[in-house]
Amino acid sequence: MSTIKKMTKNTLFLPIFCMILVMAANILYDAASGNFAFNFFTISIRNGVLYGRLIDVLNRGSEIAILAVGMTLVVSASAGTDISVGSVMSLSASMCCMLLAGFGVASASELQVPLIVGFAAGVLMGCVCGAFNGFLVAYLEIQPMVATLILYSAARAIGLLLCNNLIVYIRAGSFAKLGGFTGPVPTPIIVAAVCVVVMILVLKKTALGLYIQSVGINKKASRIAGLNSQRIIMLCYIICGLCAGLAGIVNASRITSADSNNIGLNYELDAILSVALGGNSLGGGKFNLLGSIIGAYTIQAITTTLLALGVSTSEAPVYKAIIVIVIVVIQSPVFKDYLNKRSAKRAARARG
Amino acid sequence: MKKKKSMNGNTILLLLTILLFVVMYAAGCVIYGEKGFSHLQTFLNILINNSGLLCVACGMTCVMLTGGIDISVGSLIALDCMILAYGMENMGMNPVLLCVLVLALGLLFGFVQGFCVGYLNIQPFIVTMAGMFFARGMTAVISTDQLSVRSSQFFVNLANMKFNIPFNIGAYMNRRGKLQIPYVRLPVLIALAVIVIIFIVLRYTKFGRSLYAVGGNEQSAAMMGLNVKATKLKAYMLSSFLCSIGGICFCMNTMSASVGQATGLEMDAIASSVIGGTLLTGGVGNVIGSFFGVLITGTISTLVKTNGKLLSSWSSIAVAALLCFFIVLQSIFAMVKARRK
């Protein structure tokens, strides 16, 4: 009994438990439909690249994982979520492709500016959006979700303006590298891994992680203890914007175009969901980055499974919304109190 | 003395809103006068096009008075329209029955959200965001096609009803020399009725006053003996219910349904309420302000459309910029107030 309790108390219990649940569902489904039961886990090499559903999950989940990194910090520091990430992704992708193709050009096979300039501009755009959100939240003390609501609707529209209402295609081969393959491994996986490792190193090797948690737990106390709370919150939003920009460019490179209306659509839900699924409280404070990353890949596994089951992409949000609500209800203090009271009552009854 | 001062801050916001609307509309009349912007009908068309939004903004104001927010409204409207259209077209159901069904769905939807917010103490944004994706997904579950409402003669007649403005006020001769009498449609009358009712409810009933009390200070409201949880629950139910009424109005206007319908409407509704002087922190605001907020957002999109050369995304950028401006203004007002204390 005590070992089970110890396990469930672990912060990584929820994400890993969900991951196992999804995998079990996949095994059951494969077995039931008469396929090889471990279809989900088989990895093979076809046409010189890795192939398999697990690779697919890792590959497609890269954007969500990158977003989850930024979102975790924002949730931790400001007790609110950044709902503009999906739109910022779209804006960054538009910015990048607009620079690369030239304004008003729908399809370009030659790059107008060096590739790195386009990528840098896209990421920078994300940072600017993050700084805007951060300024509103940290210095003007506006509720995070309302502040980010502005860019949630405006960023996509600005992206459309940048692209002159067109879907800009970049047909140069070098552009597609970021969303393609490096050797046999899909590049997005590498990008996500680098992003996560860098972030974990920054958080562990510097005091930033500690500061963020301290600001999230009590902003005023941290201020009195000598931390510049406002600057730290602002920094979290800038990092979140940077992650969104990076994710947007990866996504654009994957489809070799800037489709403003569809890039990053509903990604904010996935990002928030992965933070919640990672065992982090949406009320701010302590966070576990690794949990969020596992959460992100779990979400992608759920999406892939749903698609494999024949659910269309536009129907998938129904199930994700239900999962969000269930997790949030389980996390809510009222529900926890209720459970505690019940177990206390049962203990009292057992004692007689 | 002190009370008068704090009241002034809020009245200034409302006056600023009305002034902004008048200036914007006057500018439109001057610039696009020859395109027919100055006719009364243009103004009435803004009302007709935004009748759904008016209902939604009223509900949003009620929720925001308690200090919460409801971003599920746009998706709920899409779901309502889809139920109406699918029921009438593919199942041949009675439109009246469908409307009742949609309103009941709104109440149920609001109940679940309100329960999560009020009784389980979950952040309103998370709950209603889940609701937003749920409703949008359910719309796709029902049908991913673009449906148009044609078969129910009753509903078509209802939607096409014209109510002329009495005494030919604002009537004009068009280019062919035919007298054009300005008119409104049924959804406008519904929306105006909703505004009047909500205005009275907020001002003169116990429920309305308790909304302000809960938003002003939850703790003192609880100490006064108000049931804070139940008030929040009712606010979300009211919002979703009004949203369903708005959905019916919306369906009458567009006579169609699709998964992508009314995307970003939550943004317009929130912007309208905020522009109309409703504080995001709760406790301050009224529907008159929201009414002018809707008129402003409507005028912006009409201006963009009348220009004809601007991309349609300009209107959402303009609304977002306005929202940003007013939010910042509110926050500065609050900071000044806090410093004075």
Q: Using an 8 Å Cβ cutoff, are B111 and B141 in contact? A: no
> Is A114 in a helix, a strand, or coil?
coil
pLDDT exceeds cutoff 80 at A39: no
pLDDT exceeds cutoff 50 at B5: no
Residue-wise pLDDT for B56-68, tens only, equals: 999 999 999 998 8
Query: Structural domain of residue A145, as residue ranges?
Result: 51-310
Residue A104 lies in a domain: yes
**Cα distance between residue A296 and residue A277, in whole Å:** 8
Residues in chain A: 352
**Cα distance between residue A327 and residue A344, in whole Å:** 23
> Is A51 in a helix, a strand, or coil?
strand
Among A171-185, A203-217, B204-218, name the one with the lowest average pLDDT. A171-185
CA of A158, closest CA in chain B: separation in Å?
7
Residue-wise pLDDT for A193-238, tens only, equals: 999 999 999 998 999 999 999 999 998 899 999 999 999 999 999 9
pLDDT band at A77 (very low <50, low <70, confident <90, very high): very high
Residue A347 lies in a domain: no
Domain count, chain B: 1
Q: Which amino acid is at A335?
A: F
CB contact under 8 A, A328 and B119: no
CB contact under 8 A, A269 and B133: yes
Structure-token pair, residue B217: 């200070």
A315 touching B (Cβ < 8 Å): yes
Residue A32 lies in a domain: no
Q: Using an 8 Å Cβ cutoff, are B74 and B263 in contact? A: yes
Percentage of the residues of chain A whose pLDDT score is greater than 70: 97
CB contact under 8 A, B69 and A272: no
Work out the number of other CB atoms within 10 angstroms of the CB of residue A49: 14
Give the pLDDT of residue B9.
65
DSSP character at residue B84: H
Residue A45 lies in a domain: no
Residue B29: exposure state from Cβ atoms within 10 A (0-12, 13-18, ≥19): middle
Orientation angle between helical segments B313-340 and B265-275, nearest 10 degrees: 40
Strand pairing report for A168-170 and A257-258? antiparallel
CB contact under 8 A, B137 and A317: yes
Q: Using an 8 Å Cβ cutoff, are B29 and B38 in contact? A: yes
Looking at chain B, which residue has its C-alpha nearest residue A135? B328
Strand pairing report for B172-173 and A181-182? unpaired
Domain count, chain A: 1
CA of A5, closest CA in chain B: separation in Å?
25
DSSP character at residue A44: E
Q: Which amino acid is at A142?
A: I
**Phi and psi angles of residue B3, each rounded to the nearest 5 degrees, phi first:** -65, -40
Residue A251 lies in a domain: yes
Mean pLDDT of chain A: 87
Q: Using an 8 Å Cβ cutoff, are B271 and A153 in contact? A: no
Neighbouring residues of A280: CB distance < 8 A, sequence distance ≥ 6 = A72, A75, A76, A286, A287, A288, A291, A292
Neighbouring residues of B176: CB distance < 8 A, sequence distance ≥ 6 = none
Q: Using an 8 Å Cβ cutoff, are A113 and A100 in contact? A: yes
β partners of residue A46: A49
Query: Structural domain of residue B102, as residue ranges?
Result: 2-340
Q: For every residue of A151-172, which 3-state class applies, written as one string? A: HHHHHHHHHHHHCCCCCEEECC
Q: Give the DSSP per-residue string, A307-323.
A: HHTT--TTTHHHHHHHH
∠ at Cα A187 (A182, A189), nearest 5°? 130
Give the pLDDT of residue A23.
84
C-alpha torsion sign, points A206, A207, A210, A215? negative
CA of A123, closest CA in chain B: separation in Å?
21
Percentage of the residues of chain B whose pLDDT score is greater than 90: 41
β partners of residue B148: B256
Domain containing residue B197: CATH number: 1.10.3470
- Structure pTM? 0.86
Identify the helix (H) or strand (E) that includes residue B254. Answer: helix B228-254
Residue A40 lies in a domain: no
Q: Which of A33-42, A47-56, A123-132, B306-315 has the highest mean pLDDT?
A: A123-132
Residue A237 lies in a domain: yes
Neighbouring residues of B208: CB distance < 8 A, sequence distance ≥ 6 = B201, B202
DSSP character at residue B50: T
Give the pLDDT of residue A1.
52
Q: Which amino acid is at A297?
A: Y
pLDDT exceeds cutoff 50 at B1: no
- Which residues in chain B have Cβ-Cβ distances shorter than 8 Å to A153? 264, 267, 316, 319-320
Residue A189 lies in a domain: yes
Q: Which amino acid is at A243?
A: C
C-alpha torsion sign, points A243, A248, A249, A250? positive
B24 touching A (Cβ < 8 Å): no
What's the first-to-final CA gap in chain B, in angstroms? 14
- Which residues in chain A have Cβ-Cβ distances shorter than 8 Å to B311? 160-161, 164-165
Residue-wise pLDDT for B249-306, tens only, equals: 999 998 989 888 888 788 889 889 988 888 888 888 889 999 999 999 999 888 888 8
Work out the number of other CB atoms within 10 angstroms of the CB of residue B96: 12
**Phi and psi angles of residue A201, each rounded to the nearest 5 degrees, phi first:** -60, -45
CA of A184, closest CA in chain B: separation in Å?
36
Give B 259-298 residues with CB within 8 A of chain A.
Answer: 259, 264, 267, 270, 280-281
Beta strands in chain B (DSSP E): 147-148, 162-164, 172-173, 179-180, 183-185, 256-257
